[in-house]
Amino acid sequence: MEAWVLFAIAAAAAQTLRFALQKVLTGGALSPAAATWARFLWSWPIAILLALLWGIWTGAERPTLTPAFLLWGMAGGLFQILATICTVSLFRLRAFAVGITFKKTEVMLTALVGFVLLGDRLSAAGVAAIAAGFFGVILLSGPPGGGSLLNRAAGIGLLSGVFFALSAVCYRGATLALDTGDPVLTGGVTLSVVALWQTVALGVWLAWREPGQIRATLAAWRTTSLVSVFSLMGSWSWFAAFSLMNAAYVFAVGQVELIFSLLVGWLWFREPLKARELLGMAVLTASILGVTALVG
């Protein structure tokens, strides 16, 4: 199996656990913005240390942080903050797995944004496999009790997909600008810079708009530190995958996160699985396998 596929699956697993912990946090004393800040707060120093150790161990040259890398990385970090706030807000309106489902509209959107901003192209077969996955998302996104898909939760979910798509393409631009030749080092350096920027930027906003939330986040350090650890694992894996493959294909394989989230929702949050959701899982699985076979 190709390295980028393994990175994408690892990222999806870590991200599922991180979002589950953030759902717990927003059910308590933290606002969506504070729960988002928690994912960056403890991860950047660990990322810097691990990236330094990896560089020393491999004997790699210190990468040059070019203006293009910093611009792509900071833009991606801002879009990721907005996307995460939308997703965490969605958990208050819908079940955990359904919240993740709406977020997964990012896959189709990433293909479009990647083509516009970076010129990334997909094969016809790749587009067909991704479209099948999008159909699986639709199967999973029906509101409770039936009714229209056009509701507030759907709007917030689609907005999160737009922001995640923009962040993914910006991050791919950053990894291409860094170009260390080592996907692990590229992922670590990109994560270090982006997470530090996000911690400072969102921390300033919280101090200005929600000062009590900084204290609440620090008080919940046992949970927020776990959020940061899983965030570090997930983001590092995403960045490594982006350095190797088109972001749309990476996110297509990353849709396995939906299956992970359904299992977490069922086992952890006691959210029952429905026949429609099982069918959506099957379609998504077929899509993921198709992308892996076509591209890998």
Using alpha carbons, list the distances in angstroms from residue 224 to 19, 109, 157, 230: 11, 30, 23, 10
What tens digit of pLDDT does each residue of 252-272 get?
888 787 778 777 777 776 766
Separation CA 221–CA 211 (nearest Å): 17
**pLDDT at residue 237 above 60?**
yes
Looking at residue 144, its pLDDT comes to 47
Query: Number of folded domains in the chain?
Result: 1
**pLDDT at residue 140 above 70?**
no
Looking at residue 100, its pLDDT comes to 60
Give the lowest-confidence range in 87-96, 195-204, 247-256: 87-96
**pLDDT at residue 99 above 70?**
no
**Which range of residues forms the domain containing residue 155?**
3-295
Residue whose entry in the numeric block shows the structure tokens 């076979």: 293
For 65, which DSSP code? -
The most confident of 22-36, 63-77, 282-296, by mean pLDDT: 63-77
CB 248 within 8 A of CB 119: no
What tens digit of pLDDT does each residue of 172-214 get?
999 999 878 899 999 999 999 999 999 999 999 999 998 889 9
Please tell me which residue, 23 or 68, carries the higher pLDDT value: 68
Exposed e or buried b for every residue in 220-254, given b needs 16+ CB within 10 A?
beebbbbbbbbbbbbbbbbbbbbbbbbbbbbbbbb
Structure tokens at 204: 């300033």
This prediction's pTM? 0.76
Using alpha carbons, list the distances in angstroms from residue 237 to 43, 94, 185, 255: 14, 27, 11, 14
- Mean pLDDT value across residues 208-237: 86
Structure tokens at 207: 């101090």
Average pLDDT of the chain to the nearest whole number: 80
Looking at residue 121, its pLDDT comes to 73
